[in-house]
Structure 1
Amino acid sequence: MTPLLTDRTALARNRARALRDPALFLQEEAAAEVEERLSEVNRRFTAPAVVTAFPQVWQPRLPGARIVPDDDTLELEPAAHDLVIHAMALHWANDPVGQLVQCRRALKPDGLFLGLLLGGRTLSELRVALAGAEAAVTGGLSPRVLPMAEIRDLGGLLQRAGFALPVADSLMREVRYRDTLHLMRDLRAMGEGNALEARLRRPSRRALFAETEARYPSRAGDRISATFEIICLTGWSPHESQQKPLRPGSAVQSLAEALEAARKDAIPKGDG
């Protein structure tokens, strides 16, 4: 059996705690990005669904959309939606391909999927500082920051899940903080605190946080910088009307012939 990545009970607890004094600016940015992308699609979506832990961000933007928690099994009916958005939760999934498959099955033919999640370059500065600090203070390493997927791998996951026309791209955001404790408090207010199944279950030593602060890179004056990468996955439920790649061997002209023709066209002709 594959070991679980996420302690879902701890994740739910972290998210509930975040709602007391939330910092949902990344959720808001993801929602604004979706709005912009949908405005560029020449289609009106009438049966959307949103997979999210923070419905208050999405309900004003998509009134009437079905809101679904990001549980291991999604409460989505097969072929019921023309748009499914998986909103800033896929990085916590124990089975990300399974989540994508469920979303694809919930789409009508030629329905659109948009998935937004934190990517592998997120919190790169904190990862480096924490790893060095923990090695120095304790002589070892423990799981403290969620491992996140790289963009080059996520397009392949869309294909494995059965999506047509898969695309993965990303946006980078840099946020300034007073210090590492300010950053960690903000992560808790986002609901992005440590919910790893393999995390330490005892309090960390104060010396660890002091050493992390001392080792933190990318300092500008009296502020530190934290990088967040939001990856956007786009795919379509297969339909016969969609553009398809040519079958291997079906071209009527070889690449060599095309290049030779282009070369001849480029040669200036004489007066004859």
Structure 2
Amino acid sequence: MSAPHVFDRPLILRRRQRAVGLGAATFLLDRVAEDMADRLAATLRSFSRGVDLGTPGDAIRRALAGHPRLGTLIGVDALADGATAVDGSAAGVAVVADAEILPFADASLDLVVSGLALQAVDDLPGTFAQVRRALRPDGLFLAALLGGATLTELRQSFALAETECEGGLSPRVAPFADIRDIGALLQRAGFALPVTDVDVVTVRYASPFALFSDLRRMGATNPLVARRRIPLRRATLMRAAEIYAEKFSDPDGRVRATVEIVWLSGWAPHESQQKPLKPGSATHRLADALGTKEISAGEKAGPKRT
């Protein structure tokens, strides 16, 4: 069964191109790229051939340029001007491809990274599975994508405004994945040692309209197939801005916008990796390590003495 068609992928590319013309807002991507470099620096192995999958722009490739244990990192993007390589003999090579259809042979890559791109694919389990197949044994998948709490303030403000002004809701903010779901999808795709964690960023703006402007400059306005196709009424927009300012402003009058960045990593299985011990194979008791008395399952704790 095919995945539901949630995101208008051609529209996302047009919005990204428009953002470049407006002067792209890259502060979130820059933050992710810096964090990506730190995380990769903590990994004590070398990667001769890697891919930057779908990341808008080249922030990650610039951040990882000159990494002592990284050879060639090829940019893969559905926009031709976004797919370039850094370092290694393949510098200048471009792979133009959608993040949902990877054009790589099985076990051909040592590393796949991605920044703020995979939250907008329709088939996230399928994409994870393709990445897993493309990695060589002991290859690493390291990515950041937007999580479920992202733009919760905007979601609530538009829901209330549309209910008041138009008598119903329309889809406006993408259904970002939950961190627990992402961890489960990594395991389902066959990754070993899966890890997920969250970086919650609070961005403050002078007004909701400054947030709206940044979303356009990120190419991050409504990408949903099910979006309402008629122009947004001015009255609804103004009411949403009023509600946003009323409910989500700080004492200095600036408004908050939550961005949840979910980090994930997983390794292609390899015999050298750590494996969990078999049940019953422990050689030391937990009670001894904690310095406490062990109570069997059928024994009740006695009354506390003073």
Same fold (TM over 0.5): yes
* Residue 245, structure 1, aligned to residue 253, structure 2: no
Q: In the alignment, is the contact (CA less than 8 A) between 1:119 and 1:230 conserved in 2?
A: yes
Which of structures 1 and 2 has the larger relative contact order (alpha carbons within 8 angstroms, sep 6+)?
1
**How far, CA to CA, are the matches of 2:127 and 2:224 in structure 1?**
18
- Give runs of aligned pairs for residues 28-43 of structure 1, distance below 5 A: 28-43=30-45
Q: Which amino acid aligns with 2:190?
A: G
**How far, CA to CA, are the matches of 1:82 and 1:124 in structure 2?**
36
* Residue 179, structure 1, aligned to residue 187, structure 2: no
Q: Which structure 1 residue ranges, 4+ long, deviate > 3 Å from structure 2?
A: 257-265
Q: Which amino acid aligns with 2:270?
A: H
Q: In the alignment, is the contact (CA less than 8 A) between 1:86 and 1:114 conserved in 2?
A: yes
TM-score normalised by L of structure 2: 0.81
**How far, CA to CA, are the matches of 1:134 and 1:157 in structure 2?**
34
Question: Partner residue of 1:137?
Answer: 165
The sequence identity of aligned pairs, in percent, is 43
For residues 132-177 of structure 1, give each alpha carbon's deviation from its aligned partner in whole angstroms, at most 9, with x where no partner exists.
1111111101100001111122110100111000011010111111
Structure 1 residues 85, 194: CA separation in 2 closer, same or farther (over 3 Å shift)? same
**Cα displacement (A) at 1:180:** 1.5
- Give runs of aligned pairs for residues 164-243 of structure 1, distance below 5 A: 164-216=192-244, 217-220=247-250, 221-243=252-274
* Residue 7, structure 1, aligned to residue 38, structure 2: no
**How far, CA to CA, are the matches of 1:212 and 1:244 in structure 2?**
51
Q: In the alignment, is the contact (CA less than 8 A) between 2:49 and 2:109 conserved in 1?
A: yes
Q: In the alignment, is the contact (CA less than 8 A) between 1:55 and 1:67 conserved in 2?
A: no
Q: Describe the SS at the equivalent of 1:37.
A: helix
Q: Which amino acid aligns with 2:4?
A: P
Q: Describe the SS at the equivalent of 2:63.
A: coil
- Give runs of aligned pairs for residues 38-77 of structure 1, distance below 5 A: 38-63=40-65, 64-69=72-77, 70-77=98-105
**How far, CA to CA, are the matches of 2:227 and 2:39 in structure 1?**
37
Q: In the alignment, is the contact (CA less than 8 A) between 2:99 and 2:118 conserved in 1?
A: no
Q: Which amino acid aligns with 1:116?
A: A
Q: Describe the SS at the equivalent of 1:86.
A: strand
Q: In the alignment, is the contact (CA less than 8 A) between 2:172 and 2:227 conserved in 1?
A: yes
TM-score normalised by L of structure 1: 0.90
Q: Describe the SS at the equivalent of 1:10.
A: helix
User: Structure 2 unaligned runs (5+)?
Assistant: 66-71, 78-97, 295-306
Q: Describe the SS at the equivalent of 1:77.
A: coil
Question: Partner residue of 1:111?
Answer: 139
Q: How many residues align structurally?
A: 262
Q: Describe the SS at the equivalent of 1:238.
A: coil
**How far, CA to CA, are the matches of 2:186 and 2:16 in structure 1?**
27
**How far, CA to CA, are the matches of 2:39 and 2:3 in structure 1?**
35
User: Structure 1 unaligned runs (5+)?
Assistant: 266-272
Q: Which amino acid aligns with 2:255?
A: I
Q: In the alignment, is the contact (CA less than 8 A) between 2:150 and 2:258 conserved in 1?
A: yes
**How far, CA to CA, are the matches of 2:121 and 2:157 in structure 1?**
26
